[in-house]
Amino acid sequence: MRSETRIAYNSLLSAMAVAYAVADQDTTKKFAITIPKETQLNDAIQESNEFLNRITLMPVTDMEGQALRLGVNGLLAKRTDTSAGPRKGKALGAPTGTEFKVAKTEFDVGIDYATLDQWARLGDLREMYMPVVFNAIGLDRMSIGFHGSSVAVVTDPILNPLGEDVNIGWLELLRVNKPTHYLEEVVPLSNAINIGDTGDYKNLDALVADLFASIPVEHRTGNEVAIVGSSLVAADTNKLYATHGTTPSEKQDILMMQNSYGGLPSMQVPKFHPMGALVTDPKNLHLYYQQGRTRRSTKDESDIDTVVDYISSNDAYAIGNLDAIAGVNPANVILV
């Protein structure tokens, strides 16, 4: 590490000490981040990604429990014949969602000396480093949410590059806890959802409309969106280009259709399966971190010429209302 890089690195440690209200020397030891600073850290991760801003990200105190949801399910308005019994209030946040169980998740970052030297020449290391880390953690949390299916004792990023073995994500929670809202096939025993002129659904619009129809009206919030995979959107757009001309008005119609499927606003989200489709209010997707359990330390591992930033938190995924979400098994979606 160059001498000027060492100065920049020490400045980064000092800034970290100030940010987390610890002594400078304590940044090189594992320390617990205080709850207010922990909240700020997770807020920064959430702010790094537009989609994370739309979901429910919140702290929990327990290692496991019922999904936390502030809301009333179904109809609230009523009248009561009090001669037959007293009026009763409808439960707020009734347990209609999944259970959660936090799992320790490591987000360790290693920077070799040569890379650190290059970064130090570009400007303020403190200003450049943390946004990169926040963005990476945010993308990983999204990837686990869409692809996670198990919690391995030791994860394998080679076999599971999307975090499939890091935690149980939203789609797996939906598959296990509400299989009637998780479409795996249309024709029994086919293990296929065919989309195309000769398929089960003529187009992506019809598929999304069917998913939305499976959500009972009383469980809709009015903020539902269709999260759609890039390959499905590309195939749908290519068909439109092939069918229609290339006049400016027709191109504008195509852009409008890309933004709406099944009568719902559509979103293409980083890390979402290219052949996937999911309909829900984004707030129905929950991501929890256990309060007071975020740990961090930064060490100069001089024997391998690398600085390692060790970061960990106890995370869990949940669905707030299982009646208010519907999706497909992307592995079974076939374009015909």
**pLDDT at position 249:** 43
Contact assessment for residue 199 and residue 328, using Cβ atoms and an 8 Å cutoff: no
Q: Tokens representing 311?
A: 């970061």
Q: What angle do CA 157, 158, 159 make, to 5 degrees?
A: 95
Instruction: State how far the Cα of 227 lies from the Cα of 326, in Å rounded to an integer.
Output: 11
Instruction: State how far the Cα of 286 lies from the Cα of 97, in Å rounded to an integer.
Output: 10
| DSSP letter assigned to residue 54 | T
CB neighbours of 317 closer than 8 A, spacing ≥ 6? 100, 144, 145, 148, 167, 168, 169, 170, 173, 285, 286, 287, 288
**pLDDT at position 253:** 41
Architecture field, domain 183-282+324-335: 2-Layer Sandwich (3.30)
Helix (H, G, I), strand (E, B) or coil at 272: coil
Query: What stretch(es) of the chain map to CATH 3.30.2320?
Result: 183-282+324-335
Helix H, strand E, coil C: the string for 135-189 is HHHHHHHHHHHHHCECCCCCCCCCCCCCCCCCCECHHHHHHHHCHHHEECCCCCC
**Weakly modelled stretches of the chain, pLDDT under 70:** 19-21, 23-32, 70-74, 90-95, 123-124, 126, 238-259
**pLDDT at position 38:** 84
**pLDDT at position 173:** 98
**pLDDT at position 40:** 82
Helix (H, G, I), strand (E, B) or coil at 201: strand
**pLDDT at position 71:** 63
pTM of the model: 0.84
**pLDDT at position 68:** 80
**pLDDT at position 14:** 77
